[in-house]
């Protein structure tokens, strides 16, 4: 009799558990466990074949004293030195840097100006880096490139050799001024005229010694 009672109780308990399970199945709580979403890693894109970025370097003519004459009964104005490159333009593949000019002032102020062109096309623009009738001809297929980042570096030399046609054949000149790289975007063939200005302690310190500048240009 006792065994039959225990067996009956077990069957009742099992049925209650099944009903409870069925009840939970009929009425889910609709709770979703959050999962991490896929993301893009914070690394620069690199193509399968990494080609070293080409670089163009140019050295300026000897400095020119551009100090303005003082006005009558006025104190002398700050001394100014101007620098212009030997060549009219610098070219790296389909990217051009032209009309480069630099001015240093004895109080440390400076101005760096130039024009940047990406895929320039012949036209009536008298400031274009292309010569009259010249067409852009590069070994790379670049017409599909809509934008490029230009990188320009400027350094000031002291006691630089007079003839800079082949700087690798002359003794080195000390770099007394070096500016941080200037980076900017040129896109869709639109020319960009850039001017960077500021004040550098090295310009004021070595102003009498800076007789030439060097411009280094590349893109990515």
> pTM higher than 0.95 for the full model?
no
How large is the average pLDDT for residues 183-201?
92
> Can you give the pLDDT at residue 144?
58
> Can you give the pLDDT at residue 126?
81
Q: Can you give the residue ranges of every domain in the chain?
A: 55-69+77-219
Percent of the chain exceeding pLDDT 90 equals 43
Nearest CA to 103 among 55, 127, 68?
Answer: 68
How large is the average pLDDT for residues 162-182?
79
> Can you give the pLDDT at residue 146?
74
Confidence of residue 77 (pLDDT cuts 50, 70, 90): confident
∠ Cα 43 119 121 (to 5°): 165
DSSP symbols for 155-211: EEEES--S--SSGGGS----EEEEPPPEEEEEETT--EEEEEEEE-HHHHHSTTTEE
pLDDT for residue 135 is more than 90: no
Q: What is the pLDDT of residues 99-116, one digit of tens each?
A: 999 999 999 999 999 999
> Can you give the pLDDT at residue 187?
84
> Can you give the pLDDT at residue 42?
65
Q: How far apart are CA 190 and CA 209, in angstroms?
A: 38
Q: Which of 79-88, 130-139, 179-188, 207-216 is least confident?
A: 130-139
Q: Which of 55-69, 152-166, 168-182, 189-203 is least confident?
A: 152-166
> Can you give the pLDDT at residue 142?
56
The highest-confidence range among 19-23, 25-29, 126-130, by mean pLDDT, is: 126-130
Q: Choose between 126 and 17: higher pLDDT.
A: 126
């Amino acid at each position: 009799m006792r065994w039959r009672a225990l067996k009956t109780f077990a069957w009742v308990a099992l049925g209650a558990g099944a009903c409870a399970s069925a009840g939970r199945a009929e009425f889910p709580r609709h709770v979703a466990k959050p999962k991490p979403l896929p993301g893009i890693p914070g690394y620069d894109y690199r193509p399968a074949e990494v080609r070293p970025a080409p670089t163009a370097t140019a050295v300026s003519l000897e400095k020119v004293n551009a100090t303005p004459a003082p006005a009558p009964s006025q104190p002398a104005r700050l001394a100014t030195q101007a620098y212009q490159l030997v060549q009219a333009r610098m070219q790296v593949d389909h990217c051009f840097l032209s009309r480069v000019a630099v001015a240093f002032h004895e109080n440390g102020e400076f101005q760096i100006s130039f024009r940047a062109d990406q895929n320039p096309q012949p036209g009536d623009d008298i400031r274009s880096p292309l010569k009259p009738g010249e067409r852009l001809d590069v070994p790379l297929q670049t017409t599909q490139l809509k934008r490029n980042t230009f990188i320009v570096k400027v350094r000031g030399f002291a006691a630089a050799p007079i003839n800079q046609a082949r700087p690798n054949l002359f003794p080195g000149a000390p770099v007394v001024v070096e500016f941080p790289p200037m980076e900017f975007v040129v896109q869709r063939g639109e020319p960009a005229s850039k001017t960077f200005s500021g004040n550098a302690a090295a310009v004021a310190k070595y102003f009498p010694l800076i007789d030439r500048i060097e411009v280094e240009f590349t893109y990515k």
